[in-house]
Amino acid sequence: MNSKGTIFDVLNARYVAPDQIARTFIAPTQFKTLVKAGNSLLVGARGTGKTTLLKMLKMSAFEAWESPDKEDISRSLNYLTAFIANDRNWSSRVNDFAAQLDDQELQDVARRAVISNQVLRSIIKTASEVFSSGYVFEHLRGNGVNPLEAEINFLGWRESKSSEAKDT
How do the domains of the chain map onto residue ranges?
1-81
Q: How confident is the model at residue 2 (pLDDT cuts 50, 70, 90)?
A: very low
Q: What is the DSSP letter of 47?
A: T
In angstroms, the CA 7 to CA 164 distance is 58
Q: Report H helices in the chain.
A: 18-24, 30-35, 50-55, 59-64, 70-74, 88-99, 104-132, 135-142, 147-167
**Widest CA span of the chain, in angstroms?**
62
Q: Measure the CA–CA gap between 162 and 8, rounded to whole angstroms.
A: 52
The DSSP letter of residue 134 is S
Helix (H) or strand (E) holding 94, with range, is helix 88-99
Determine the average pLDDT of the residues in 36-40.
80
Residue 1 pLDDT level (bands cut at 50, 70, 90) = very low
Triad 68, 72, 75: Cα angle to 5°: 145
Using CA atoms, how far residue 161 sits from 128, 135, 148, 164, 167, in Å, is: 25, 28, 20, 5, 10
Residue pLDDT, tens place only, 14-23: 778 888 999 9
Nearest Cα to Cα of residue 49 among 64, 77, 68, 29? 29
Distance, CA of 116 to CA of 165 (rounded, Å): 27
Tell me how far apart the alpha carbons of residues 87 and 165 are, in angstroms, rounded to a whole number: 42
What tens digit of pLDDT does each residue of 62-120 get?
888 999 988 888 877 777 777 777 777 778 888 888 999 999 999 999 999 988 888 88
